[in-house]
Structure 1
Amino acid sequence: MQTVAAAVTMVRDDAFFLKAWLRHYGETLGRENCYIVNHGRGTEVAELAAGCNVIGIPGNPHKNFDMKRWRLLNNLVHGLRSYYDHVIVGDVDELVIVDPAAGQGLLAFLEDQPIRRVLTPVGLEVIHRIDVEEEPVTDRIIGPRRHVRLAPHYSKPCVVSLGTKIARGGHFTQASKLFTPEPLYLLHLKFCDFSNYVATMNARNDVTAQTGASVQEASIGRHWFAEARGEDRAVFEAFARLPMQEGFDLDWVRKRMHRTWKQRGETGYWQFDRPEYDTQYQLPERFNGVI
């Protein structure tokens, strides 16, 4: 049984993303090294995650949902670090991958990485170009979907082998050194499929409505609220208007992350600048089937 890496997430329903998470980490790390917090003890989650380590918790709506969630995830990561060299932690729609050009999979890559550090992959948001990508997503996402946009907000310090605190949302840690290995990426899947996006947002809007709290009152991401949603088809149609970039060399992104690395005020956390980039890339064919 390997002790190089484990993966941890929390999920409430979200079968589409959970299936992708299980395919990726289950195949890469082994299901016995996957830890899933089943928020609400959903039957479908438990069935899909058979062979994984499933922790069922109550699913009562709460305005401080995100704060409670990351308190639990932080402590799970701290505990699992006693048994694994690296622990990957994040939302169920976030998957850490290695560029196939590196010639090794995620497990082999992490086996070669020193411990006592936090690795921060470059964040890429997989976007469904509904004007040109008609093929539905089935057992694989990359292939039917090949377009991505830079997402610094999802360049998360999510591969942990150091005792450190992770901020709510997973965007920052208290680790003072930044490590951004060249072939490592985090793929955010929220916009990878139009039909699933509509269904997921409907479900999340229902959850926040049940709390009875406003955006200002709740410790829940603003994007979960109906008033911050916008018109779904217009969101996806706008992807076609993002300027297409040639090639796929993102070294400049990592250099900028390091150049802007600094303390996050008096919070104890560290950060890099996270500008908005209105551009898109097409993933090279070598990425087909990576998730």
Structure 2
Amino acid sequence: MDNTKAKVAAMTMLRGDYFYLERWVEYYGRHLGRENLYVLSHGNDPEHRRIAEGCNVINLPYDATRYSFNQRRWQMLSLFTSGFTRYYNWVLCGDVDEIVAVDPAVSDSLQDYLMRFGETKAPRVITPFAIELVHNPGLEPEPLEGRNILDVRRIFRLNANYAKPCITRNKITFGPGGHFASEKEGYLDPDLYLFHLRFVDYQMTHDRLAVRKEQRHIQSGDLAEVDRKPTGWDTAWDSYLDLSRKTPVAETVDFPEFRKEMVEGRHPKNDGAFWMMGGGRSSDVYRLPERFAALF
């Protein structure tokens, strides 16, 4: 690692999503220091500044048209991320409902874990293994308020789509959503996990997806009115309801065959301009071991 640079920065962009920002700031502030967090506030929201006090808040004008919004957003995040690698050894960029953590059996410090690499063996980009939390109200009835998320929500499914190449030490270009990137060589870290929190609570999921559906309507038109294919946001509520009724089949984070499929199935997109992990989604759900409960 380069001792002329700071260690690790984390960056996200959001509109609203106060619950997720509170958890994001608390977690990454504890591990990296708030002075190394960058919050891009879409719409110059004073509540973002309040929650992210001590962080670097960058205000962006609100675009009500949402014209090519996701593409423009990730083009901008790519440029910010690439620029910050000139001053940080590692830059972590992701959505506000995503938390990257190291297995507590391996390390209690995300920063120390990332800085363990020597200069000659560090990968250019790190991809964590994806854990998509799914709230089953019948099995996990306790509210999130005042609790660590992983105290009361540990049911998950495997979803390779959220194994994002989100930690880099070099110039990078992300594809829309950050699911794929320009880096050809893939490194799936053995002990890092990306916890995707979109489905972490029944009522929050319902309310948030209703907002996203309206945004999708503004951006691309309603499915019943325009000729377009449904996206994951269009079908997310039905997907969540199906998953939320399932019972975990095992308590584990050990999935060697799934990891193998992800690595061996790594493939190019857009004629090789981007690369992403292979693999798919599990039909079953699982439960995180107890040791993860204190993470966040």
Structure 2, unmatched stretches of 5+, are none
User: What corresponds to 1:89 in structure 2?
Assistant: 93
2:231 is matched with 222
Change (3 A) 1:268 1:145: same
Distance 1:286 1:258, change over 3 A: same
Question: Is residue 247 of structure 1 aligned with residue 235 of structure 2?
Answer: no
SS in 1 for 2:211: helix
Whether the 8 Å contact between 2:35 and 2:54 is mirrored in structure 1 is: yes
* Per-residue deviation, 1:265: 5.4
Amino acid aligned to 2:27: H
How far does residue 263 in structure 1 lie from its aligned partner after superposition? 2.8
Of 70-79 and 164-173, deviating more is 164-173
Partner AA of 1:25 in structure 2: Y
Give the deviation of 1:55 after TM superposition.
Answer: 0.6
- Of the three residues 134, 137, 150, the one matched with 1:130 is 137
Contact 1:85 1:115 (8 Å CA) reproduced = no
CA contact (8 A) 1:130 1:237 kept: no
Aligned with residue 183 of structure 2, among 155, 165, 175: 175
1:67 aligned counterpart, secondary structure: helix
Root-mean-square deviation (CA, aligned residues, Å) is: 2.5
Query: How far apart in 1 are the matches of 2:252 and 2:85?
Result: 38
Say if 1:237 and 1:151 are closer, same or farther in 2 by CA, change over 3 A.
closer
Q: 1:13 aligns with which of 12, 16, 33?
A: 16
Q: Distance in 1 between matches of 2:278 and 2:266?
A: 7
Contact 1:130 1:236 in 2 (8 A): no
Partner of 2:68: 64
2: CA distance, partners of 1:42 / 1:218: 34
Match for 1:206: what amino acid? E
Q: Distance in 1 between matches of 2:23 and 2:222?
A: 31
What amino acid sits opposite 2:52 in the alignment? Answer: A
Number of residue-to-residue matches in the alignment: 286
Asked if residue 34 in structure 1 is aligned to residue 37 in structure 2, the reply is yes
Does the Cα contact within 8 Å between 1:7 and 1:35 map onto a contact in 2?
yes
| Percent identical residues | 32
How far apart in 2 are the matches of 1:189 and 1:100?
A: 19
Q: Using the alignment, how far apart are the partners of 1:98 and 1:154 within structure 2?
A: 16
CA distance in 2, matches of 1:111, 1:218: 48
Corresponding letter in the other structure for 2:280: P
Q: Is the 8 A contact 1:131 1:237 kept in 2?
A: no
Partners of 1:141 and 1:34 in 2: how far apart? Answer: 21
TM-score by length of 2: 0.88
Unaligned regions of 5+ residues in structure 1, if any?
none
Judge which range, 266-275 or 238-247, deviates more: 238-247
- What pairs with 1:162-241 in structure 2 (closer than 5 Å)? 162-211=170-219, 213-214=221-222, 222-225=231-234, 228-230=235-237, 235-236=240-241, 238-241=243-246
Tell me the CA shift for residue 68 of structure 1.
1.1
Work out whether 1:273 is the aligned partner of 2:265.
no
Q: Which has the higher strand share?
A: 2
